Amino acid sequence: MAPAVAARLAHASAEAVTDLADAELALGRADMAAARLAPLLAEHPVHERAAALLMDALAAQGRQAEALALYERIREQLADTLGTDPGAALGERHLRLLRGERPAADATLTRRDNLPAPLTSFLGRDADLARIDALLAAGRLVTVLGPGGAGKTRLAVEAARRHRHEYRDGVWMIDLASVTEPAKAGAALLAAIGLRGSALFDAPAGLRGTPADEVDVLADQLGGHEALLVVDNCEHLVDAVAHLIAALLTRCAALRVLATSREPLAVDGEALVPLGPLALPEPDADLARARSTASVRLFTERAAAVRPGFGVDEHNLAEVLRVVRGLDGLPLALELAAARLRTLSLTGLADGLSDRFRLLTTGSRTALPRHRTLRAVIAWSWDLLDADARTVAERISVLPGGVTAASATALRDGTAVPAADVPELLADLVDRSLLHLAPDTGRHRMLETIREYGLERLAEQGELPGVRDRAARHFAELVARHDPLLRGPGQLPALHALHAEYDNVLAALRHLCDTADTGALALSVDLIWYWQLLGRHRDAAHWLGEAVALPAGGPSLTRDIAEGLLALNVSATRGASAADWFEERRDGLRALNRRLLDHPRLPGPSGVLTAVWLASLTGAEVPPGVLQRLVEGPDVWAAGMACLVRAQLAENDGRLDRARDDLRVALECFTRAGDRWGLARALPLRALVRQYDGDLDGALADVTEAKRLAREFGSLGLSDEIFVDLRLVDLRVRLGETARAAGTIAAARERALLSSTPETAILLDVREAALRTRTGELVRARELVESVEAGLSTHVLFDGDQGQALAGTVRGALCLELGDAAGARDALVRAHTAAAGSGDMPVVASVAVAVAGLAALHGDHREAAVLLGAASRLRGAHDRTDPQVRELSERGRAALGDERFAEAYGYGRRLDMAAALARTDPARPSGAPPLPLPHDGGHSG
């Protein structure tokens, strides 16, 4: 007790002498102040406030050399005794002396903070500033957390600078970056606020300079004062700083602390401000949106500082997006990258980010070494980890798509890290700002820059290939486990699980392909149904192509299935190059299809369905027994799929009775299997059959249910949802609800923007063009038709020429509305040729109805009636709810009378398929004599 009391009295005495000297100096009595301070410093050689005042007194007397010598002596004494540099007060006086400036007489009296003046503008972070303001108003300790280079210091200084007037007794910044020993944290605080001095050296030798003494001095000086301490760079001294700040906050009721660290201080009452990267533009952001994001603004401003006139424009937008997104919007990385524009082009900079740690090495010369290069920033955090946390961090860096406890545990195999410790180690990495947790998913993510550092460490240790092997095995097993679930009641959870791990799965597939591992083939086949459900045909085509290109160990069923699936997905990409690819391989694909169909152990569904779809694509016959094997087999889902395929084939051939039966069984099977996708695929087809039968209410119920099922897939989307929308549009038109039909098209367009296939936009343009033609908006209809034709000049829609058939039909309908008979005939000739080539009878029937409209335009209502009957024969149903069929029928009855119209319609209805195709061809010479009509009454349309 006595030594502590003595220390406080000695401190009070020294401060009284210093205050008196301060007053004398303020009154211009520099000689008296110097005489008073020199003995004090002899007794207390590291009393920084006394030293600062003595430097002022000497300078005021013209004795600058003595003042500089005093500074050097104090600096050496501080280094030898405390292991620290002089505080801010001494440093400022030293700088003024070097510049030849005279000190202000009352400098030590009026100064209320030591915040550094900003050298560059402060960009973004408005929400973070507001959060700091609110938390400091409500509490007394706020810690800004974030990875190295996130801008924690700059944010904390900016927050303190904007509100320093609110703290009557000052705002003081304490930078702990250069403090290497935890025991020196208190001394750093004393130095920063000018209190380090006598009290600690009046104490007995056993207590001199201990943390307890420093807390006492700080508490004595800060108690009752309204002050803010900005304690910067706490992460390497976190335990010592936590205890020091906790003690001060307990004893100083008006004190507030704003700290920065890469991990929390974990002190009672601490509020956190997690600091992530700056806001990033979307990959497809336009110029205005990109310029408004904080990351682009920061990069642009810093780039303009080294390359005058630099700005973001249409020409360099893509490269700027590559840079800011490639660097995760990390402020320090962006500033280092901008600095390289002194010697690199923007394209060279963007290309060089694949080796970012070599590239970004030109930081500020005045910064601490760990802030001068990107590698040093990350290495500082890495070196603070214990061995197990470092091992886990390095291994999960191979995962570009995020981390779960399961994947991290799998990757720690072969190390000394216990599996039970992995969740805690992940939490530790979150605390240290090397991972961030998405609370809604429970997944951890690592910034790309930090991940690159981890990969570099693994490569240096020679462990990268082995860790990637483990990751590939883990994700291949995960996909194989989830693939069967995609066809049953667990469909949605399995789909979401695969979606969450998709980037990691592709990284695994890339590694297997790069290493020519045969597992690439199996993994790509296991992924096929995931790709099918989400309509990711380009992904499927790319990766199946990579897998089948690997050296084969010999022929296998898996390879044959993969090659068949490759052809199907290349065809589904619809590009002109895809059509060329398919034509070059048509004979080989037919041979492949024969092998699949003849295979004695062909499994279902992947093998059988691949064979069936490939047969349809190559124009081959599918033996009826192939699908029947699935229908009669034990797999309920496979039976449902086989029935759905048969129903689609029957509907295409105009055999609706067979389609009805198969659809009923398919829906029963999918319901039993619990497959939402299968139901969503089958219901619109049943709606089509129902609308042909005149049951529009039943058809609408089917489409509505299909939409509900599609919405269950949420943000994942459903590959066939666009076709559900198109069926709904058709029903709305048939019900006379053209405004609602237009609304459905508009909503579908928004979803189509997310689609990677061009066919969605083309289909919507076709449907809207037909709608606008019907509602008399012919200018807009013409624009849409031209858009369709332009799209089809670069893309192939559907199998064969269905796209050309649809485009020609809608162009013909527009010409008919405009009274352009010649234009309509030319368009419909092209449409009929394409539709007949496609083999899709309902599409041919649609062309035939338009051809009937052309006959009616010429006044030949009898021929129009025959053509309507022939269209009915082609589609396998009358389709009385089609507005165009209904209008032409009404005009025909008015012109011919009911009996003669029914006679002509019935004649067309009884034609065989070949004759119906020939009769509906608008290229048939217009002067040819009409075919004779029997006089047996026919069938009424």
Instruction: Tell me the mean pLDDT in the region 315-343.
Output: 82
Can you tell me the distance from the alpha carbon of 488 to that of 485, in angstroms, rounded to the nearest whole number? Answer: 6
Question: Once rounded to an integer, what is the mean pLDDT over residues 801-818?
Answer: 88
pLDDT for residue 103 is more than 50: yes
Distance of CA 704 to the CA centre of its chain: 31
Cα–Cα distance, 407 to 398 (Å, whole number): 11
H-helix or E-strand spanning residue 784: helix 778-792
Range with the poorest average pLDDT among 287-291, 479-483, 628-632, 759-763: 759-763
Considering 317-321, 415-419, 660-664, the range whose residues carry the highest mean pLDDT is 660-664
- 79, 483, 611, 653, 841 from 873: Cα distances, Å: 101, 42, 30, 10, 9
Average pLDDT of the chain?
82
pLDDT score of 662? 93
The pLDDT tens digits of the residues spanning 21-66 come to: 877 777 677 788 788 888 888 887 777 778 888 888 888 877 888 8
Q: Tokens in use for 751? A: 């979803």
* For residue 87, pLDDT beyond 80: no
Ranking 82-96, 196-210, 858-872 by mean pLDDT, the lowest is: 196-210
Hey, what are 457's tokens? 């460490």
How far apart are the C-alpha atoms of 641 and 663, rounded to whole Å?
A: 10
What is the pLDDT, as a whole number, of residue 52?
A: 82
Question: What is d(CA 296, CA 18) in angstroms, rounded to the nearest whole number?
Answer: 51
Secondary-structure percent of the chain, ordered helix, strand, coil, rounded to 5: 65, 5, 30
Residue 286 reports pLDDT greater than 80: yes
Relative to beta strand 436-438, strand 443-445 is antiparallel
Q: CA nearest 644: which of 623, 675, 665, 617? A: 665
Nearest 5 degrees, angle CA 209-CA 214-CA 217? 125
Residue 627 gets the label, from left (phi > 0), alpha (psi -120 to 50) or beta, of: alpha
257 by DSSP, 3-state: which? strand
Give the Cα separation of 326 and 336 in Å (integer). 13
Q: If you average pLDDT over residues 758-764, what whole number do you get?
A: 78
Dihedral (CA of 909, 910, 916, 920) sign: negative
When pLDDT is averaged across residues 214-218 and rounded to a whole number, the result is 78
pLDDT > 50? residue 928: no
One-letter amino acid of 390: R
> Helices in 549-605 by DSSP H: which ranges?
557-572, 576-584, 586-598
pLDDT higher than 50, residue 498: yes
The count of other CB atoms within 10 Å of the CB of residue 580 is 11
| Region label for 603, one of left (φ > 0), alpha (ψ between -120 and 50) or beta (otherwise) | beta
pLDDT of residue 355: 64
| Distance set, CA 42 to CA 89, 192, 277, 541 (Å) | 19, 22, 51, 83
Q: Say if CB 88 and CB 230 are below 8 A apart.
A: no
Cβ contacts of 736 within 8 Å, gap of 6 or more: 883
How confident is the model at residue 442, as a pLDDT?
76
What mean pLDDT is predicted for residues 5-18?
68
**Average pLDDT of the segment spanning 201-219:** 55
Most distant pair of Cα atoms in the chain: their distance: 136
Task: Give the phi and the psi of residue 660 in degrees, each rounded to 5.
Answer: -60, -45
What is the average per-residue pLDDT within 833-855?
90
Written as six digits, the tokens of 881 are: 């709810």
pLDDT at 272: 92
Q: Identity (one letter) of the amino acid at 29?
A: R
143: pLDDT strictly greater than 90 = yes
Q: What percent of the chain has pLDDT over 70?
A: 85
Q: Cα–Cα distance between 361 and 2 in angstroms, integer?
A: 55
Least confident of 373-382, 777-786, 932-941: 932-941
Residue 15, CA atoms < 13 Å, CB-side half-sphere? 15
Which residues share a beta bridge with 232? Answer: 175
Question: Token digits for 401?
Answer: 């798509």
pLDDT of residue 3: 54
Rounded to a whole number of angstroms, the CA Rg of the chain reads 39
- Single out the residue of 569, 654, 641, 574 nearest to residue 609, CA to CA: 641
Least trusted range by pLDDT, from 265-279, 402-416, 613-627, 867-881: 613-627
Chain center to CA of 566: 27
Instruction: Please choose, from the candidates 914, 909, 913, the residue with its C-alpha nearest in 3D space to the C-alpha of residue 933.
Output: 909
209-223, 277-291, 500-514, range with greatest mean pLDDT: 500-514
Reduced to 3 states (helix: H, G, I; strand: E, B; else coil), residue 163 is coil
Please tell me whether the peptide bond between 86 and the residue prior to it is cis, using omega within 30 degrees of 0: no
CA distance 798 to 559: 26
Q: What does the pLDDT read at residue 846?
A: 93
Q: Centre a 10 Å sphere on the Cβ of residue 933 and count the other Cβ atoms it contains.
A: 16
Local confidence band at 600 (pLDDT 50, 70, 90 cut-offs): low
Lowest mean pLDDT among 479-483, 837-841, 844-848: 837-841
Residue 239 reports pLDDT greater than 50: yes
Nearest to 807 by CA among 787, 780, 834, 789: 789
Structure tokens at 38: 């020199």
Contact 398, 416 (CB under 8 A): no
> Which tokens in the block code for residue 460?
């240096």
With contact defined as beta carbons under 8 Å apart, do 204 and 261 qualify?
no
More confident residue, 7 or 388: 388
Pair of tokens at residue 376: 């040093």
Q: Provide the 3-class DSSP secondary structure of residue 403.
A: strand
For residues 887 and 443, give the distance between their C-alpha atoms in angstroms, rounded to a whole number.
59
Phi, psi at 655, each rounded to 5°: -105, 75
Rounded to whole angstroms, how far apart are CA atoms 217 and 9?
11
Q: Which two tokens stand for residue 44?
A: 């207390």
Residue 277 has what pLDDT?
81
The pLDDT, as a whole number, for residue 207 is 36
**pLDDT tens by residue, 260-271:** 988 899 899 999
- Local confidence band at 510 (pLDDT 50, 70, 90 cut-offs): very high
Summarize pLDDT for 554-573 with one digit per residue, the tens. 778 888 888 888 887 887 77
pLDDT of 82 over the 70 cut: no
Mean pLDDT in residue range 832-859: 90
CA angle 908, 910, 913 (to 5 degrees): 85
Q: Kindly state the tokens that stand for 539.
A: 């992904």
pLDDT of residue 89: 67
User: Each residue of 703-733: pLDDT tens digit?
Assistant: 999 989 888 886 666 656 778 888 899 999 9
Half-sphere exposure of 213 (CA within 13 A, CB side): 27
The confidence band for 107, taking pLDDT boundaries of 50, 70 and 90, is very low
CA neighbours within 13 Å on the CB side: how many for 624? Answer: 1
With residue 343 as reference, give the H or E element that holds it. none
| pLDDT tens string 292-318 | 888 888 888 888 887 888 888 888 888
**Segment 797-805 mean pLDDT:** 66
Question: For residue 938, what pLDDT is reported?
Answer: 40
**Does residue 383 have a pLDDT over 80?**
no
pLDDT of residue 722: 78
